[in-house]
Homo-oligomer: A and B are copies of this chain.
Amino acid sequence: MISFPDRLESAINQCHNPVLVGLDPRADMLPEGLLDPADAARPEKVAAAYERFCREIIDVVAHKVPAVKPQAAFFEQIGPAGTTALANIIRYAQQQGLLVILDGKRNDIGSTATAYAQGYLGRESAWGADALTVSPYLGDDSLEPFVEVAAEQRGGIFVLVKTSNPGGRMIQDLVADGKPIYRHVAEYVERLAASSEGDCEYGIVGAVVGATYPEQLAELRAVMRHTWFLVPGFGSQGGTAADVAAAFDAQGLGAIVNNSRGIIFAHSLKPYKEKFGAARWQAAVEAATCDMIEQLRTDTPAGKL
């Protein structure tokens, strides 16, 4: 199997867009008919509804976008039944040709970090994800086991660098040795990425950089030329296509832009709700996906893809 960065580049080129669809199921926002309200406290019923919901979204977006990003929290929220649904969804998405980046924000040290990495990274692993998001607070020796396993298993990781939420400033924007903390993390991540290049110029270690901080996106793109960016914060968090333009390289590569609620719950957003009604929620998902693709193609270097 070819490396994760090369597979990501190839998938983006095939789809001609860098849209990452976030799979964040929530019981109280599912389209009508997927979960009987009387079953909302029964984990197996909720898990089955999440699985059906995600499968139908995957059916809509496969071959349109390169990748999906299941959010582990919403599956774990309902207990072990939810994690079984998560594993099923990961496999199903891949069967439909999608790459899967699992958003778990895991981290730990030494052999514990290795356990997470072995469990999640690569299609032969228990969960089978192509890539995993990872948190950096524990430092370099907590990230190295993930990098090693990712290299062995043809997987990738995305390390939190500059997150999209306002509170991210608390630690990430503190200045030490003349640079904000996120910049220290960024430079370490770039070194890891540069030492693990695929055939494309990007490495197996990527960075999470929020759409809500366009200036930092530009700053980091300039100093992280071997690092794939996973860009959250588009849509419901306020990021626009213009805001994420700086995340791309001159060829329109180097970044994937996530949208979760703005796509999967499009049926509850006014323009789509009016057009499709509540029942045709899959059509709303499709329209919202196509609209986001078009916005990125119009207002960012992704138009060159």
A interface residues, Cβ below 8 angstroms from B: 24, 26, 43, 71, 73-74, 76-80, 82-84, 86-87, 103, 105-113, 115-116, 118-120, 126-127, 135-144, 160, 163-172, 174-177, 181, 184-185, 188
Contact = CB atoms under 8 A, between A and B. Distances in A.
Question: Chain A interface secondary structure, helix, strand, loop or mixed?
Answer: helix
B142 A160 contact: no
Interface centre among A87, A111, A165, A171 (most CB of B within 10 A): A171
Nearest to A185: B171
Given A43-B126, A77-B119, A139-B170, 5 more contacts: A74-B112, A77-B116, A139-B166, A141-B165, A175-B176
30 contacts: A73-B112, A74-B115, A77-B115, A77-B116, A77-B118, A77-B126, A78-B126, A79-B87, A79-B119, A79-B127, A82-B119, A107-B135, A109-B164, A109-B167, A109-B168, A135-B137, A137-B171, A138-B163, A138-B165, A139-B165, A139-B170, A141-B165, A142-B168, A143-B167, A170-B184, A171-B184, A174-B174, A174-B176, A174-B181, A176-B176
A79 B85 CA distance: 11
B160 A138 contact: yes
